[in-house]
Amino acid sequence: TGKPVKFIGVSERPDGLEPFYPERIASRILGMGDIVSLVEKAQENFDQGEAEELERKLANESFTLQDYLEQIRKVKKMGSLKNLVDMMPGMAGQISEDQLNEAGLKYEEAILLSMTGKERGNHLIIGPTRRSRIARGSGTSVAEVARLIKKFEKSRLMMKKAVKNKKMTERMMGGGR
């Protein structure tokens, strides 16, 4: 027809229509990622103030399960995990489908929503009886609740280290001027 392609469908969801950029699509197909589109998606879903607040919470060790729940929701809004991973340079095909378990995010969200605000604010108060109640409320097992809490603690530690490394790098770069 001689008409240019303006948009491309990347999923069956209503928000799966994206502007068509031939070089970006070619880069994704070749497994080289599409960092520009990834950054654009992140900017749509995260604002600078929220990012700074999150960084502050991680540095002060006040990152809670409530914050974790909000991060899960924001990542889900960005699209499928497979599409996000495919946008990262060198990651296409490196992570298996079962590692990108989108259903797992739904279960995690259900577990977190079955907790009280107090429990999401302080995960250390979640003992065996609370874990059992949370598991019943979320339709999961006590082991899955325990796994989520352990995953949260690991994520929190990793993110805290990343924030420290970022600050150290900024100090080194700032000190060299």
Please write the tens of the pLDDT for every residue from 95-154. 666 566 667 788 999 999 999 999 999 999 999 999 999 999 999 999 999 999 999 998
| Any domain includes 164 | yes
State the CATH number of the domain containing residue 60: 1.10.260.30
| Any domain includes 108 | yes
Domain ranges, residue 150: 16-175
Q: Which amino acid is at 69?
A: L
What does the alpha-carbon distance between residue 59 and residue 81 come to, in Å, rounded to a whole number? 27
Q: Which helix (H) or strand (E) holds 13?
A: none
Of 73, 64, 76, nearest in space to 118 by CA: 64
| Any domain includes 99 | yes
Sign of torsion over alpha carbons 64, 127, 100, 15:
negative
pTM above 0.75, yes or no: no
Check residue 177 and give its pLDDT. 45
Residues 131, 146 contacting (CB under 8 angstroms): yes
List pLDDT tens digits, range 1-29.
Answer: 788 888 888 778 777 788 888 887 777 77
Check residue 156 and give its pLDDT. 85
Q: Which residue has the higher pLDDT, 33 or 24?
A: 24
Q: Which helix (H) or strand (E) holds 37?
A: helix 35-45
| Any domain includes 3 | no
Q: Which residues pair with 8 in a beta bridge?
A: 18
